[in-house]
């Protein structure tokens, strides 16, 4: 387990990455020579719970990759209410990768949900790499295409889906991405509160609490935010797809 120094990201904690690129999308297809070149430019930074990795409106200077921990991407409404867009797990490139390619500012913020380790790569370094590696560039196109499809599916769900359907879809997605199979079900390895769930699916916290209580009564889920277990994922999947 990586030992994290008790420092804010502004004061230190940048060190060469350890080269575990096999689990990082958009980097795992690189040749040995290109990996060596990338490793010289990758830095690692550590953040504590609720610290911002970047804020909405900041310049897009780096590509960020979650190495350890969980990050949430958020945006703010005109009235100042925070909306959680998604949770990011180890291996995810975030948060505004399309904005980084467009030389734009971040349209959202990225915030640590606990102790996290983040790999950073300068935008110019990665774009130069893509120029040298057409196969890697094609993978990036596929990656951004998948992100666009996800955004379209989410917009469709928000427009047409019932609140319980949205919440079921979120739980199924988290189980697929972070679930650990245990005797009594699938335990989520990330901590997610009812408020986080509500923000990510566009419902009120009160509605999320009410639906989760019903899911618990129906023995679909068990536990708390710190240890949430999906007890029966088949009905949840059926509800999400209904």
The 3-state secondary structure of 101-138, one letter per residue? HCCCECCCEEEECCCEEEEEEEHHHHHHHHHHCHHHHH
Domain 161-241, architecture per CATH? Orthogonal Bundle (1.10)
Other residues' Cβ atoms within 10 Å of the Cβ of residue 108: 22
CA distance 144 to 226: 32
Q: Which residues pair with 105 in a beta bridge?
A: 59
Question: Is the confidence at residue 186, as pLDDT, over 80?
Answer: yes
The tokens of 162 are what? Answer: 């019932």
pLDDT of 56-96, one tens digit each?
A: 888 888 888 888 898 988 887 777 777 777 888 888 877 55
Check if the beta carbon of residue 158 is closer than 8 Å to that of residue 202.
yes
Question: Is the confidence at residue 2, as pLDDT, over 70?
Answer: no
Q: How far is CA 35 from the centre of its chain?
A: 24
Domain boundaries, the chain: 15-159, 161-241
Check if the beta carbon of residue 63 is closer than 8 Å to that of residue 25.
no
pLDDT of 98-155, one tens digit each?
A: 666 666 788 889 999 889 999 888 888 888 888 888 887 787 778 777 777 877 777 6
CA distance 185 to 212: 16
CA distances from 78 to 81, 82, 158, 217 (A): 8, 10, 19, 37
For residue 59, give the DSSP letter. B
Matching residue, tokens 């940048």: 14
Buried b (16+ CB within 10 A) or exposed e, 206-229: ebbeebbeebeeeebbbeeeeebb
The CATH code of the domain at 15-159 is 2.60.120.10
CA distance 233 to 219: 10
CA distance 191 to 69: 10
pLDDT of 26-58, one tens digit each?
A: 666 677 777 777 777 888 999 999 899 999 888
The tokens of 224 are what? Answer: 């708390």
Q: Which helix (H) or strand (E) holds 50?
A: none
The tokens of 176 are what? Answer: 């697929």
Other residues' Cβ atoms within 10 Å of the Cβ of residue 199: 21
Helix (H/G/I), strand (E/B), else coil: 204:
coil
CA distance 214 to 146: 33
């Amino acid at each position: 387990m990586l030992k994290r120094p008790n420092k804010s990201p502004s004061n230190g904690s940048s060190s060469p990455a350890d080269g575990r690129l096999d689990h990082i999308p958009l980097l795992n297809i690189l040749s040995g020579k290109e990996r060596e070149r990338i490793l010289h430019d990758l830095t690692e930074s550590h953040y504590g719970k609720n610290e911002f990795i970047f804020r909405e409106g900041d310049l897009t200077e780096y590509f960020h990759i979650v190495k350890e921990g969980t990050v949430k991407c958020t945006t703010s409404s005109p009235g100042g209410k925070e909306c959680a867009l998604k949770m990011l797990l180890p291996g995810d490139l975030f948060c505004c990768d399309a904005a980084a390619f467009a030389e734009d500012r971040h349209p959202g913020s990225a915030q640590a949900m606990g102790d996290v380790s983040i790999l950073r790569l300068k935008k110019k370094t990665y774009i130069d790499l893509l120029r040298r590696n057409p196969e890697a560039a094609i993978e990036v196109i596929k990656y951004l295409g998948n992100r666009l499809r996800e955004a379209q599916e989410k917009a469709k769900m928000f427009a047409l889906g019932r609140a319980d359907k949205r919440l079921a879809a979120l739980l199924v997605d988290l189980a697929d991405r972070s679930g650990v199979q245990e005797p009594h079900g699938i335990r989520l390895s990330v901590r997610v509160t009812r408020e986080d769930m509500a923000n990510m699916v566009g419902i009120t916290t009160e509605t999320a609490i009410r639906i989760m209580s019903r899911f618990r009564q129906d023995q679909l889920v068990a536990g708390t935010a710190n240890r949430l277990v999906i007890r029966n994922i088949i009905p949840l999947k059926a509800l999400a797809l209904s």
